[in-house]
Chain A
């Protein structure tokens, strides 16, 4: 086919596009994945929010805010990295802000605790459930995000894959926070962050395969 003919064909098939259509698509993919993940969690653990009377509202709000902030920052960075010609540069460091805030809380908790109870703060009673559930439940969200990238054009697939993974992991952690019985910032710093990092690494590994265009 001649290039000029191709140009004519493409111009004829061009429909008006809505501004930010790509962003809506990405958010839609994330939401679809999150719905599937929430259904999975309900299947595994039953109704959410039952542990709030035990943990208290502040601890619950802290977990939810941390995970949601990570998801928001990760999603924004993934969106930027899906636009050709834009680079993240120092913006990646936004991802360190929520853990830094939580680290301050963790330092205060650890300073008050005796040596024996410090290990308790780090590991809580449910670290293995947290790590496993957050990583697994991130998978449908990750696939939803990949679907949401249809209209975006990432040019650094590993970077974008990693950010998609972080976003999926953090969204998964947000949903898991509705069930999590832990109450400390120290637990949040170690296990939530680790689970999100695991999702990010997995995303970087599969990104180049799934996000090619």
Chain B
């Protein structure tokens, strides 16, 4: 850890002084760390993890003068990563709180429920990778068998099964996450 800290800090200080090579190395190393960071929190399949990596890299760049050269670099990087994660959750909450309220009120009002549920599911599915989304929408929504879904999507049957399993797990995590955010 101490080695990583001193390496990154040296690169950052050189980058701030105008050394583009050092700065590129620093950003690449930071991107690796950020990817780990967001994967651990959003799940490896999350498409938004890479978006967050890029957004955070841009923030590192535009706010690089907020780094005090006498302070630990990893603490600075971590604080920015965390801020962007919280910001992401806040945006998601705004986007999804309406859908979740609808689900709560819907239990009982079924004639309206079907169309609203379809909207929610579509929004949630956007959170999944293309393969998982295809697997779930073909088997669970369109009602195809695993073999048919495999044929249509060009994935193997086992890939469809794995996709459904992982995708459903991820959807459950997402919904749980929003509920927890709501409660807070």
Contact = CB atoms under 8 A, between A and B. Distances in A.
A57 interface: no
A13 B24 CA distance: 11
Most chain B beta-carbon contacts within 10 A, residue among A16, A153, A213: A153
A153 B87 CA distance: 13
Measured as residues with beta carbon below 8 angstroms from the partner, the interface class of chain B is 35 or more
A84 B66 contact: yes
Contacts of B80: 84, 153, 155
A114 interface: no
A107 to B, nearest CB: 40
Interface residues of A, number: 29
A25 B17 CA distance: 18
A84 B79 contact: yes
Nearest to B13: A19
Contacts of A151: 63, 65-66
Classify the secondary structure of B's interface with A.
helix
B183 interface: no
A204 B91 CA distance: 21
Nearest to A19: B69
B177 interface: no
A153 B61 CA distance: 11
A152 interface: yes
Interface in A160-213: 212-213
A213 B57 CA distance: 13
Interface of A: 1, 3-4, 6-8, 10-17, 19, 21-22, 25, 82-86, 151-153, 155, 212-213
